[in-house]
């Protein structure tokens, strides 16, 4: 578990963003995405935690 960039609050509702990571048998990261625990907004799945994190932080209100 590396330290991640801080996730910005949800651009839609200001709720807390959660990084969800799916691990394989060898603990490797299979996919990762970020979602809002309040309104459920989410990114698509990415292969890397960092990519999902960056995608979320770059997100604007226009994306939905």
Six token digits for residue 22: 């799916």
Q: With CB under 5 A, what is the number of residues at the site for Zn ion?
A: 8
- Judged by beta carbon, residue 8 or residue 29, the one nearer Zn ion is 8
- Taking the complex as a whole, the smallest distance from the CB of residue 61 to Zn ion amounts, in Å, to 11
* Candidate ranges 18-26, 34-42, 43-51, 53-61; the one touching Zn ion (CB under 5 A): 34-42
Six token digits for residue 35: 């979602």
Q: Taking a C-beta distance cutoff of 8 angstroms, is the pair 34, 7 a contact?
A: yes
How many angstroms separate the CA atoms of 31 and 21, rounded? 6
Query: Would you tell me which residues interact with Zn ion (CB under 5 A)?
Result: 10, 12-13, 15, 36, 38-39, 41
């Amino acid at each position: 578990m590396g330290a991640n960039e801080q996730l910005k609050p949800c651009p839609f509702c200001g709720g807390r963003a959660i990084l969800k990571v799916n691990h394989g048998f060898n603990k490797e990261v299979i996919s990762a995405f970020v979602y809002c625990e309040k309104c459920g907004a989410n990114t698509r799945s990415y292969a890397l935690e960092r990519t999902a994190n960056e995608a979320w932080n770059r997100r604007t209100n226009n994306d939905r």
